[in-house]
């Protein structure tokens, strides 16, 4: 097993996750099987309880793991499927160590950060890496070097460095090279950050410098000199117009060549898929506008996977997707403002929790249905589509979800078996579930199959009691998992497709998610 440890310096938000994912991709393009682990030094056990306001999107894995959004980047860039163990948090590590202590596993010893916590970190990391069956495992240490929280993790990877043979482990440090008022590239923050890293016993092999413009040769030499790395191992990671250009940039900087030598690997060309995708991306000649009507409208990070899925689908159609994030509450405050949806080719309502903004989203769905505008509803976006239909077509005026309001007509509700789960602490239906698709439906057409598997993250369901009434009026539930409705569509509409699952999590560059692709095609039509 080869390990590539990615740390970050100077400040957060440098795009370390994209860097790590891109490094993975250039190695995949050289024929290696690459996996990735994200270490998050926070105390939370997982990202499931974290607000998208604070932390961006919660990414959902096939096994139901609710994880940091960087795992989404890894899955997309590497075209792999990860499991929850690939996101290691301080909370998990301490929980395990404390459980072991209670069981008496430490035989009366004083349990300490070194060696007990660090051993646990190393053990976990190695186990996950080996179990993946990959050739190379990228380990991204979250946070910035110098943070108190990440110390035990940095100490653990330091120990790994002395335990693994030299050709099996590489350290990559991602830093920032800012410009001064004269536009000169400044290396001091990088020098300081590497100094900090060294004080912890870590010497980077490669420095990836985030900067506005490509690093000048003399900036590279200066970093090389001060930080003790060869100039060929100073990589310029300048701003790119799209994240999918980053692997190409790193390849051009000679990074894969450097890593292949350093790790004594034998590469073979495997870049075909990526090249095809890049070519499609370069041949974009159209643009469409999509309105995403949501709650965290001002925060792109809360909907990364949807953004990427739209982009993947757009690129497949050679078109740029201009997405406007519209705050659903604006429609509630000024219902007449719904007309601003006129300028869009398509409307999407994403997943969400809680009542805020839902009436505004329902207005947007009504607009899409009545004006024959392509509509894609994801999770809550399906539940609200059912509510809108029940209210305005079936005539159940106060139809609603019991999550959102008290109602006579709970068309969306907890199923009886979930009531119990809720009382036991409120778990969600998470991860992969199958749906059986109706013949001749839009669903079976766009998936090209009679079944599908997609990822879920929800509690509430379409109430089976109302299905006959709703279907009689023309909304069809064309994907089902037993008594759970997975897809609601309206035949005859230009494109009206909504799912209880989240197809965005499985979309990949070059392999767009079927509903997103069909949505895009309908929008272009």
Residues 389-408 binding ligand GLN (CB under 6 A) are: 403
Q: Nearer to ligand GLN by C-beta: 198 or 459?
A: 459
Shortest reach from residue 352's CB to ligand GLN, in Å: 5
Contact code string over 293-332 relative to ligand GLN, x by CB under 6 A: ----------------------------------------
The binding track of 345-364 with respect to ligand GLN, each residue x by CB under 6 A or -, is: ------xxx-----------
H/E run at residue 154: helix 151-163
- Outline where 31-117 has alpha helix (H): 52-55, 70-78, 90-103
Q: How many amino acids of this chain bind ligand GLN (CB under 6 A)?
A: 11
Q: What's the CA gap between 505 and 308, in Å, rounded?
A: 9
271 vs 411, beta carbon nearer ligand GLN: 411
Distance from C-alpha of 276 to C-alpha of 299, rounded to nearest angstrom: 31
Q: How far is the CB of 432 from ligand GLN (least distance, A)?
A: 15
CB-based contacts of 79, cutoff 8 Å, min separation 6: 28, 273, 508, 510, 511
Q: What's the min distance (Å) between Cβ of 381 and ligand GLN?
A: 7
Q: Which residues are catalytic?
A: 379, 502, 504
Closest-CA residue to 284 (of 248, 247, 242, 317): 317
- Judged by beta carbon, residue 456 or residue 508, the one nearer ligand GLN is 456
Residue in 310, 438, 312, 324 with CA at minimum distance from that of residue 378: 310
- Which of 25, 458, 480, 508 is close enough to bind ligand GLN by CB under 6 A? 458
Report the nearest approach of ligand GLN to the CB of residue 457 (Å): 5
Binding segment for ligand GLN among 74-82, 194-202, 210-218, 376-384 (CB under 6 A)?
376-384
Q: Which is nearer to ligand GLN, 177 or 297 (CB)?
A: 297
Give backbone dihedrals phi and psi of 222, rounded to 5 degrees, phi first.
Answer: -65, -45
Residues numbered 168 to 207 that lie near ligand GLN (CB under 6 A) are none
Residue nearest ligand GLN, CB atom distance = 351
Shortest Å, Cβ 485 to ligand GLN: 12
Residue 459 binds ligand GLN (CB under 6 A): yes
Beta bridge partners of 8: 174
Calculate helix-pair angle for 188-199, 217-227, nearest 10 degrees. 20
354: burial class by Cβ within 10 Å (0-12, 13-18, 19+)?
exposed
Per CB under 6 A, the segment of 74-82, 262-270, 375-383, 462-470 that binds ligand GLN is 375-383
Q: Are 58 and 66 in contact (CB under 8 A)?
A: yes
Residue placing its CB nearer to ligand GLN in the complex, 73 or 383: 383
Instruction: Provide the minimum distance between the beta carbon of 426 and ligand GLN in the complex, in angstroms, as a whole number.
Output: 10
From the CB of 356, what's the least distance to ligand GLN, in Å? 11
Instruction: List for the chain the helix, strand, coil content (%; round to 5).
Output: 45, 20, 35
Structural contact between residues 150 and 142, judged by C-beta atoms closer than 8 angstroms: yes
CB nearer ligand GLN, residue 441 or residue 498? 498
Candidates 122, 457, 480, 506: give the one binding ligand GLN (CB under 6 A): 457
Closest CA to 137 of 149, 119, 148, 124: 124
Strands 429-437 and 451-458, how do they pair? antiparallel
Query: Among positive and negative, which fits the CA dihedral 416, 434, 352, 478?
Result: negative
Options 71, 288, 379, 520; binder of ligand GLN; rule CB under 6 A: 379
Using the minimum distance from each CB to ligand GLN, give the nearer residue, 139 or 412: 412
Q: Which residues bind ligand GLN (CB under 6 A)?
A: 351-353, 379-380, 383, 403, 457-460
């Amino acid at each position: 097993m080869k390990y590539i440890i990615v740390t970050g310096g100077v400040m957060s938000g440098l795009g370390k996750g994209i860097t790590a994912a891109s490094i993975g991709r250039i190695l995949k393009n050289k024929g290696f099987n690459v996996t990735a682990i994200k270490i998050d030094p926070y105390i939370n056990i997982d990202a499931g309880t974290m607000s998208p306001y604070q932390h961006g999107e919660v990414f959902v894995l096939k096994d139901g793991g609710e994880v940091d959004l960087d795992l989404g980047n890894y899955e997309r860039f590497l075209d792999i499927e990860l499991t929850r163990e690939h996101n290691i948090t301080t909370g998990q590590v301490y929980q395990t160590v404390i459980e072991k202590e209670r069981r008496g596993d430490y035989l009366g010893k004083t349990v300490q950060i070194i060696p007990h916590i660090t051993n646990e970190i190393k053990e976990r990391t190695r186990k996950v890496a080996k179990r993946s069956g990959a050739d190379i495992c990228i380990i991204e240490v979250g946070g910035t070097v110098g943070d108190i929280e990440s110390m035990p993790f940095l100490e653990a990877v330091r120990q790994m460095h002395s335990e693994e043979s030299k050709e099996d482990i590489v350290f990559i440090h991602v830093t920032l090279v800012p410009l001064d008022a004269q536009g000169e590239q400044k290396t001091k923050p990088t020098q300081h950050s590497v100094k900090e890293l060294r004080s912890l016993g870590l010497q980077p092999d490669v420095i990836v410098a985030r900067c506005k413009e490509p690093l000048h040769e003399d900036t590279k030499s200066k970093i090389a000199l001060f930080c003790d790395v060869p100039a060929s191992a100073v990589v310029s990671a300048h701003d790119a117009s799209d994240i999918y250009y980053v692997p190409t940039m790193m390849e051009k900087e000679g990074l894969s060549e450097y890593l292949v030598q350093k790790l004594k690997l034998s590469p073979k060309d495997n870049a075909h898929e990526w090249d095809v995708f890049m070519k499609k991306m370069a041949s974009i000649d159209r643009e469409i506008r999509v309105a995403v009507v949501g709650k965290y409208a001002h925060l792109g990070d809360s909907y990364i996977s949807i953004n990427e899925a739209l982009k993947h689908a757009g690129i497949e159609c050679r078109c740029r997707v201009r997405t406007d994030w519209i705050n659903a509450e604006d429609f509630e405050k000024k219902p007449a403002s719904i007309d601003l949806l006129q300028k869009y080719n398509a409307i999407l309502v994403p997943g969400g929790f809680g009542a805020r903004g839902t009436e505004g989203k329902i207005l947007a769905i009504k607009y899409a249905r009545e004006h024959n505008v392509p509509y894609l509803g994801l999770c809550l976006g399906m539940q609200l589509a059912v509510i809108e239909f029940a209210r305005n077509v079936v005539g159940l005026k106060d139809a609603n979800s019991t999550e959102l309001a008290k109602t006579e007509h709970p068309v969306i509700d907890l199923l009886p078996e979930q009531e119990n789960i809720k009382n036991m602490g409120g778990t969600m239906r998470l991860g992969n579930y199958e749906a059986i698709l109706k013949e001749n439906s839009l669903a079976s057409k766009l998936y090209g199959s009679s079944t599908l598997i997609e990822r879920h993250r929800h509690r509430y369901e379409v109430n089976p009691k109302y299905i006959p009434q709703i279907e009689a009026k023309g909304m069809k539930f064309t994907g089902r998992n037993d008594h759970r409705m997975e897809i609601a569509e309206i035949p005859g509409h230009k494109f009206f497709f909504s799912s209880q699952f989240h197809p965005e999590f499985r979309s990949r560059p070059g392999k767009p998610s079927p509903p997103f692709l069909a949505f895009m095609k309908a929008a272009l039509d």
